[in-house]
Chains A and B, each alone.
Chain A
């Protein structure tokens, strides 16, 4: 049981290049999330998904796209990377997230992305 995994762990891009970050979970979780973490800014939600085939925007969605074609995978894409997207990206998942009876979000190990 690997939990939540992310690939790659590190990546360096040039401005304008594209890339896809992969998040996978083997806990049969319905909900998946992508966050970015910048110094002094905490964890900010980029996009999330409440089930296979669904996606929704979070707090900072501009410049990113996501897809959830399979329940266990959640992809984050950068079509044209910018230096402002230099950050550590965390994926998370939870079994179910009911208001008033919420479940734990389990985080992946993170991807450190640098855009030059």
Chain B
């Protein structure tokens, strides 16, 4: 089955800096890659996703890039703010299946 590795497990940045979280996946058939944000004590919520027919997608301060050849994808947050502090999960889905495989998460801490 699919295996998703996520790094780093924790990331501390100063407000205004950029943050990058990286994920790798094992199955070349995977073609959908969402990112979820989970604030402390809250439910995970989708913040951005990318499909394998595009290499990059942006939404304001958030962007995701995909390298199908290397089987990795990354989340980029620019101009970080304290409210960006949360746990971020990447995930991948395999063609023909109806489930997501999640990475173990990255705790992002943004200091004022």
Contact of A97 among B49, B89, B98 (CB under 8 A): B98
Closest B residue to A41 by CB, please name it: B104
Report the minimum CB–CB distance from A88 to chain B (whole Å). Answer: 10
Contact of A104 among B46, B95, B99, B105 (CB under 8 A): B46
Chain B positions within 8 Å of A44 at CB level: 102
Report the minimum CB–CB distance from A40 to chain B (whole Å). Answer: 6
B104 and A104: CB pair below 8 A?
no
Please, what's the 1-or-0 string for A17-46, where 1 marks a CB less than 8 Å from any CB in chain B? 000000000000001010000001111110
Number of interface residues of B (CB under 8 A): 28
Please, what's the 1-or-0 string for B34-57, where 1 marks a CB less than 8 Å from any CB in chain A? 100000001111100101100000
A99 and B46: CB pair below 8 A?
no
Please, what's the 1-or-0 string for B69-94, where 1 marks a CB less than 8 Å from any CB in chain A? 00000000000000000000100011
Closest A residue to B31 by CB, please name it: A100
Chain A positions within 8 Å of B9 at CB level: 40
Within 8 A of B (CB), among A76-108: 90, 97, 99-102, 104-105, 107-108
Q: Does A50 contact B (CB under 8 A)?
A: yes
A99 and B43: CB pair below 8 A?
no
> What separation, in Å, do the CA atoms of A59 and B100 have in the docked complex?
11
Chain A positions within 8 Å of B52 at CB level: 100
A99 and B99: CB pair below 8 A?
no
Report the minimum CB–CB distance from B88 to chain A (whole Å). Answer: 11
A90 and B104: CB pair below 8 A?
no
- A40, A107, A108 — most chain B CB neighbours (10 Å): A107
Closest B residue to A96 by CB, please name it: B98
Q: Does A61 contact B (CB under 8 A)?
A: no
Query: With contacts A100-B51, A102-B32, A109-B43 known, is A48 near B99, CB below 8 A?
Result: yes
Given A59-B1, A99-B95, 7 additional A-B pairs, CB 8 A: A40-B105, A42-B6, A43-B89, A58-B99, A97-B93, A104-B34, A105-B100
